[in-house]
Structure 1
Amino acid sequence: MDGERTREALNSNGQGRISAGKRNFLIGGICFLLLAVSGVFLVYENGRVYRECYVEAGVEVTVRDFLREPEEEAYFTEDSDEIDITVPGEYHVRIRAGYFTHKSTLYITDTIAPQGEPVKVNLELGQECGADAFVSDIRDATNVEASFGVQPDFTVPGKQSIEVLLTDLGGNQTTIVSELFVSQVVSELTVEAGSEPPTLGDFVLAGEEAEFKTDIGSYDYTVPADRMVRLQVDGVDYKAEMHIVDTIPPEVELQDVHDFTLLPKEPEDFILSVEDVTAVTAKFVKAPDLSGAGEQTVEISVTDAGGNETVKTAKLTLEKDVEPPVISGVTDLSVLAGGSVAYKKNVTVTDNCPEGLTLTVDNSEVNLSVEGTYPITYIAKDFAGNETRVTAQITVRPRVYDEREVYVLADNVLAEIFTEDMTPEQKLEAIYSYNQSHIAYVNHSERDNWVRAAYEGLAEGRGDCYVYACTAKALLIRAGITNMDIAKIPTRSNHYWNLVDVGYGWYHFDTTPRAKDHPHICMWTEAQLMEYSAAHSNSHNYDHSLYPEVN
């Protein structure tokens, strides 16, 4: 009963439940709030990307250029136009940024005129070229077309001023001023090596009068080279480059070769003949195998100065060499003690393979200074190693020195150094000069035989003071000049020289050279020599009682 009254009381006051109007109002508010939030979100999203973007041709374009705020995850979608920054135009792109894909338009414009550098062009009469030949280093973000402002006349020799218009894809234009020279002469001429020198007609394209300023016939047309030729046509000087070339390969004829193993082979061994205007070189395409017997094919490459190559083949047949050499003419020998021997004189060697053939003489047991009989062995060896030995003997006989032999030698010397109009004094000077220039000083000689000493000086050209004095003695005797031997008083050293008399008394005559002061002791007086001797450790101190008085 009480509950029912309470429910009725609540209902009568309108409390405890939401009315329909309030509910509708609340739902409408919530919807409005959602729409407002959605609108703000959409406005925010749509404002993330620029609807239009403008850029100069050649400037790199990235997705960041379209975003109001940086976003690392933004990218062009696949259905966007492909952007070419070198082509002006309108490009439609779609950009994924945030939760949505946005549309934008890129406008590439070209407002900068192209640039370029003028190029002077030389053409031969009758040749033509396009406008782009007169310009280099063209710089522009877009493709550039070159055209003539005024069409050149390629049929008129001489210089012309040329205007070239450079126009890019944006319609921007630049004028380049250059120069054209139309030549009456070819710029270059190619001549085959071995040909006759070219004529004016080969160089000159047009003109009334022409002449060479270069001696065209002085060049070697067998050697490939580039030559500068100077000409004058109608009073105008020209230069042309002449290329002497070799384009024809050599004509080669080979021959087969039959030889022994191991012997070295050169390409030239197979070449029978070569015909080419220029110099040629030959080589093996692959080196032949020379180690074994048998037949093989050899390829020879012959190349001329122009680089032209001819390759030919030949047969190489090799056999092993087993035949030893043959030595002929070996006999026993005889020689005087102290003499020399030509061991190989009259000795010959033959072999079926003469290449690489050697002949040696083993004379290791021979002593030419000591009398006796010694063995010698002749050894011949060919390239294959086949060897032949022949033995003989050499007898060393005692040496007998004969005045007659020495006088013959002396007479031969005097015939060379004397003239018919010489005075005795001049003859002495000639003998003095001969001894000093033809005898080499050595520190020892045998001093028991003046003939032997004279022989050593005249025939062998060496010896000590005793040899110098005895050689002078032999020459003085044969010259008819009175002379006498003289010697220093023996001390730790000995010395020998001569006294001479040409008709007015004795004088000192010493042809032995002295290293320090080089005295010229030719017809010195006693006073001169004694003064020198005293100053040089008594070099010429002698026993005056044993010799005649000296002037």
Structure 2
Amino acid sequence: MQAHKRVSKLSKKKKAAVAAASVLCLAAAGLAVFLWWVNRPRPVISGVQAHLTVYADDAPQTIRDALLAGVTAADGDESFAVDVRILSPADGAVVEAVTPGEYKLLYYCVAAEKVTATSALTVKAPDTTPPTISGAKDQTVRVNGSISYRDGVTATDDTDGTVALQVDSSAVDLTKPGAYKVVYSASDSRGNTASVTVTVTVEPEKTQTAAPAREPAGSGDSPGIQEKLDSLCAEILDDILTDGMTDREKAEAIYNRVRKIKYVATTPASDWRQNAYNGLTTGRGDCVQYSAASRALLTAAGIPNYELQRYGGKTDHYWEIVYVDGGWYHFDACPTSSKYPIRCFLLTEDEVVAYSNSRTDRPNYYIYDHSKCPYEVVQSR
């Protein structure tokens, strides 16, 4: 019995020792975990810029994306999510909606909010000012010549500085005389766009723009007609033209003057100059006199012109093409039927064709033999 009691006492002592040892082990393990937690490696936030700028009219998600662009948090090979708060510089309160002004930024690791980084933020007022395009101007070049569209042309923005300049010259055909549009455009980082349109005039070779050659005085059946016509044209031009007029303005003044002739069917002379003189002095005539009078005044004014004749049909018709504004255009001062009115002043090929097609009585009204015309009329506007 006494032996049994001694064994029981020894067993209790062992159990107590084991329990004490267990407690010590647990304490040691807890201490180890605590020390690891205290001394554990922490994520490092990187990529934070010292100062950022956004605009007040940016969408909230756009602002957020801009603030977090390139910002990361990592601990060795392990990455962590990063977020950012916009803070008031006055009291440090979180700002949900920004207005123009200065703010603080607090970046933090989502898994460990004590891991932070700071930055500064400027919120600018909305930018609605487009870039300024400078140096774009109208240019003139000869057929088959070369042209520099970008020379001396710049695009600058009040915020972005120099911005990319776009040039659309796709409408220009340097192989054909005419007036063509070139569009310059530029956009800034905020999407504000500016554009400037200029005109490139492609001129024919000098030999192409010469006015019709003067016929020798006294030729044909009208002796001395050249001198009389020259004097008459000089008198008329002195009355209807003024200093500083462009060729277009001169051509229109001549057009309006010839339109004063009253349409009367006549028997034409064999010399075009006589027809011009008769139409301008008598104030009467048909398309022959209108065309001849136009030719005489245009030539005297130094405006290149060429007479066209209707092709096909049962009736003749004569009118001019003139070289104005860098291209050849139709010019017909002769009045038309009141049923089919038209003011044929500097019309394009498409416009006279459309008019001809509208005439059920004379669908060939302005149709001519293109193979006999040495010049190409501007096709369309």
Does TM, normalized by the shorter one, top 0.5?
Answer: no
TM-score (norm 2): 0.39
**Higher helix proportion, which one?**
2
Structure (1 or 2) with the larger CA radius of gyration: 1
**Higher strand proportion, which one?**
1
